Amino acid sequence: MKKIFALILLFVTVQIQAQKFDGLAETPPMGWNSWNTFGTNINEQLVKDIADKFVELGLKDAGYEYIVLDDGWMAKERDENGNLVPDPVKFPNGMKAVADYVHSKGLKFGLYNCAGAQTCAGYPGSRGYEYQDARSYASWDVDYLKYDWCNTEKLNAEGAYMTMRDALKAAGRPVVFSICEWGDNEPWKWAKDIGHLWRVTGDIINCWDCEVGHGSWSSWGIWKIIDMRKDIRSAAGPGHWNDLDMMEVGNGMTDAEDRSHFAMWSIMTSPLIMGNDLRSATKETIKTLSNKEVVAINQDELGIQGFRFTNENGIEIWLKPLANNAWAMVFVNMKNEEVEIDFDFAKHDIGDDVHGRMLEPKHNVYSIRDLFNHKNLGDTSKSMKAKIGVHDVLMIKLEKK
């Protein structure tokens, strides 16, 4: 009898552990990550400054929540008990103090590690230390873990990410689990019950449509990422998102390109993780990042990832179904000259076959709201005319009248 009880208990325990934390990231996570701008050059003061800026610049109010330290926060060696140690120079008061500061602002705190023996920048990885590291994160009140894929020789990706998921679960503190294996093993096919978001490509770089080679791997411009992964939209939904990578808004593209980048990440329901230096960001950058009408498209409760309608004559047109039969629509000018569009809604009924939804301007009239200029543009009973600058975007919301 005792044996049977023990077996049932074991079974129940395993069942409880073998799940990710539910109820997290019900809409795409929003926040900031240190990597794109700072690399491993990070420290306590930077985190505090960023947290202050979240509040001061209205980013917290716009919905940004997580402040995530990427690679480079650790000392090069574990301590004598195998525990991870924050770099004592960069983080002289330890990680709990940093997390406490972030929490005191009503924000959440995240860290980075790697499934391999070492992180990509050569710091101690979690391979073989998963449960111990998860307990460290819990003891420091960490809310989000980005988990990378360098130095993972012969590891199986699904298995390695399951191990870390179970370790986080066992440590007991709810953590958003951000899978970062660059899409190499097609996580959109297996990671739904393991992580809350997963990277779908190699690293982003701050250009419109370039590929920058680094020998065995490449960095990808905005449109390379979009084109590569436009066909996996059925994998995204509340609690499990295709992650197009940390944004490059404010990192050197034109303001128009930044707006298009932000519009596309929003319509594709990607997590919105800023990657710029908020201490020196221009007004225009902050205006783009904190645009609540665009953020609302990304955060729509249905969590449906958008899709390409057409990309003819240098204009990309994308659509995304929203709650209450509303739709978001994006027109991006891919040309190096201003274009004039003239879109006759009455000619189009557009279906989203994957999610069984229809935009029906042939049979219904929808009001049109311009989300970057914050004004109403009439309705779909007339064709919509607009000028769009080089690499700029017109993003609209359509609501049934």
Of all residues in the chain, what percent are helix, strand and coil, respectively (each to 5)? 30, 25, 45
Minimal distance in Å, beta carbon 263 to ligand GLA?
A: 22
DSSP β-bridge partners for residue 213: 218
The residue of the chain with the least Cβ separation from ligand GLA equals 120
Among 24, 117, 121, 170, binds ligand GLA (CB under 6 A): 121
Q: Are 302 and 327 in contact (CB under 8 A)?
A: no
Q: Which candidate in 70, 143, 166, 203 is catalytic?
A: 203
Instruction: Name the amino acid, one letter, at 152.
Output: T
Q: Does residue number 180 form part of the binding site for ligand GLA (CB under 6 A)?
A: yes
37 vs 380, beta carbon nearer ligand GLA: 37
DSSP secondary structure string, 52-106? HHHHHTTHHHHT--EEE--TT-B-SS--TTS---B-TTT-TTHHHHHHHHHHHTT
Enumerate the H helices of 216-305 as residue ranges. Answer: 222-228, 255-267, 283-289, 292-298
Among residues 44, 65, 148, 352, the one that binds ligand GLA under rule CB under 6 A: 148
Active site residue 184: no
Q: Does 74 bind ligand GLA (CB under 6 A)?
A: no
Catalytic residue, chosen from 148, 277, 352, 392, is 148
The angle, 0 to 180 degrees and rounded to 10, between the axes of the packed helices 2-17 and 157-171 is 110
Q: How far is CA 191 from CA 75, 160, 194, in A?
A: 30, 11, 5
Residue number, 200 or 235, with CB nearest to ligand GLA: 200
Amino acid identity of 136? Answer: S
Q: How far is the CB of 123 from ligand GLA (least distance, A)?
A: 9
- Report the residue from 71, 300, 352, 392 that binds ligand GLA according to the rule CB under 6 A: 71
148 catalytic per annotation: yes
Contact range with ligand GLA by CB under 6 A, out of 99-107, 114-122, 290-298, 308-316: 114-122
Distance, in Å, from the CA atom of 223 to the CA atom of 244, rounded to the nearest integer, reads: 11
Residue in 30, 47, 62, 120 binding ligand GLA, rule: CB under 6 A: 120
Q: Kindly state the smallest distance separating residue 112's Cβ from ligand GLA, in Å.
A: 6
Q: Which of 84, 92, 91 is nearest to 69 (CA)?
A: 91
Q: Which of 35, 188, 262, 318 binds ligand GLA (CB under 6 A)?
A: 35
203 in contact with ligand GLA (CB under 6 A): yes
Footprint of ligand GLA (CB under 6 A): 35, 70-71, 112, 119-121, 148, 180, 182, 203
Catalytic residues: 148, 203
